[in-house]
Amino acid sequence: MKSESTERMTAVSKTVETVQSVADRKYKYGFVTDIEADTAPKGLNEDIVRFISAKKDEPEWLLEWRLKAFRHWQTMEEPDWPKVSYPPIDYQDAYYYSAPKPKEGPSSLDEVDPELLATYDKLGIPLHEQEILAGVKNVAVDAVFDSVSVATTFKATLAKAGVIFCSISEAVKDHPELVKKYMGSVVPYSDNYFATLNSAVFTDGSFVYIPKGVRCPMELSTYFRINAANTGQFERTLIIADEGSYVSYLEGCTAPMRDENQLHAAVVELIAMDDAEIKYSTVQNWYPGDENGVGGIYNFVTKRGACRGRNSKISWTQVETGSAITWKYPSCILQGDNSVGEFYSIAITNNYQQADTGTKMIHLGKNTRSRIIAKGISAGKSQSTYRGLVKMMPKADGSRNYSQCDSLLIGKECGAHTVPYIESRNKSAQVEHEATTSKISEDQLFYCRQRGLSEEDAVALIVNGFCREVLQELPMEFAVEAQKLVGISLEGSVG
């Protein structure tokens, strides 16, 4: 551990260095790198940040914001408190920008890894959709549905309702006033190591604005946003639900996602005004590494929602089955009186996966309510941790929280951990927390096996029952696939 003064010294000397380097370049906006290039050179420095900003043709305020974040990031230390371990990340040994390139995909499904296809089958993904997921050439997303172009229909429907749904880069160009007003207002650029890194180098993500009184006519999903076929490494999503509006947003999909970038550091900000409601559902199935723990995505995500208005509501639902390491705490700041925060989570780890996930519910307003249902399932040699905070501030009169964290262990070599923090500074606020840890009951397994289910099917059935309360929070189409995913994620964990 470093002493405060040593840290301060380091910070001071870093600041001096930074200022010096800036002075040397005389704040010129000239670029050392060739902005015509499709890929920025390896490494991370102010020039790379400028390169990204220039590539995206961003206004100056955004570049300044990115640079502020970058300079702050240089003074920060990577957090070591999560219960996860991984070799040190060399942030200079990575590319921070590469233009999406048309990929040279396989020409038919025959050329696709059969293991991947088997998984698609188990998930029940239709053939056309499989082709898109596998990146087969000349298959457009539109082909998912037979006749009409989904994209066109759905854009028209949204436009009619006045909903803005576009990439964050488009939003910067087309709706700068909204982006400027809200971006960083929930997760400030200085928030934490990974969010700060994201603020400096984010390249993609979604922007949603639901105008007053509008109920978004359809579930929004990155999956349908045409130009989001390649999700970025540093995504940034901003969703604003204006007074009295409603939106349900789906992130990710159940199909296994392979990506060559190992580090993913996304930021998601949600803002709900008076009487507005945002429902945010995630299914995360990034590559978890192989059964020996080699490879896999590091998923370090900052997700936070602000219930700014009275009677507003933000609900997070997540099914986390992928990634070698998951580090995320979707949170709610309950500012408006009577606002509601919810967190429903399933985290499944198998083989050598590590997940440290949970939520924070910060109760500021009167009569605010929050509910936490977290289900952790550990198998193989994996480690799963629930980490959460419920905080009742002095003005949160009459507020309530209920938390339930259940862990299920499958096998002798995995771990399940629960680390809840409860801080109450209001006597009329009620907090209830319960946690249990158990294993799959032999009786239940025997019962299922006796009725002819294979061991894997039996485990999937029991685990699905264990997760029921969370699964039922997912939008229907998602829920069906997620149930299958639960089974697939645990393959090879028994017997």
Q: Which residues bind other proteins (CB under 8 A)?
A: 1-6, 81, 392, 394, 407, 409-439
> Can you tell me the distance from the alpha carbon of 270 to that of 419, in angstroms, rounded to the nearest whole number?
25
CA torsion 71-77-81-87 (nearest 10°) is 110
Query: Which of 170/397 has CB closer to other proteins?
Result: 397
Q: Based on CB atoms, which residue is closest to other proteins, 121 or 455? A: 455
Q: Which is nearer to other proteins, 196 or 418 (CB)?
A: 418
Distance of alpha carbon 327 from alpha carbon 84, whole angstroms: 8
Minimal distance in Å, beta carbon 5 to other proteins? 5
Q: Name which of 263 and 422 has its Cβ closer to other proteins.
A: 422
Q: How far is the CB of 191 from other proteins (least distance, A)?
A: 19
Residue 194 CB, nearest approach to other proteins (Å): 20
Q: Given the structure tokens 């440290």, which residue do they identify?
A: 356
Least distance in angstroms from the C-beta of 473 to other proteins: 23
The residue (of 179 and 431) whose beta carbon lies closer to other proteins is 431
**Cα dihedral 56→62→68→72 (10° resolution):** -60
Minimum Å distance from CB 4 to other proteins?
7
- Helices H / strands E in the chain, number of each: 13, 20
Beta carbons within 10 angstroms of residue 5's beta carbon: 8
Compute the half-sphere exposure of residue 171: CA atoms within 13 Å on the CB side of its CA: 26
Cβ 322 to other proteins, closest distance in Å?
23
If the CB atoms of residues 438 and 454 are measured against other proteins, the closer one turns out to be 438
DSSP character string of 319-353: EE---SEEEE--EEEE-STT-EEEEEEEEEE-TT-
Alpha-helical runs (H) found in 75-192: 114-123, 127-134, 150-161, 168-174, 176-182
Helix, strand, or coil (residue 63): helix
CB of 74 to other proteins, least distance (A): 21
Question: Could you tell me the smallest distance in angstroms from the CB atom of residue 290 to other proteins?
Answer: 23
CA distance linking residue 289 with residue 321, whole number of Å: 12
Shortest Cβ 380–other proteins spacing (Å): 12
Q: Alpha carbon of 35 to those of 46, 294, 480: distances in Å?
A: 14, 35, 45
3-state secondary structure of 113: coil
- Smaller CB separation from other proteins, 231 or 382: 382
> Which of residues 416 and 486 has its CB atom nearest to other proteins in the complex?
416
Q: Which is nearer to other proteins, 213 or 492 (CB)?
A: 492
Which tokens sit at 407?
Answer: 């862990």
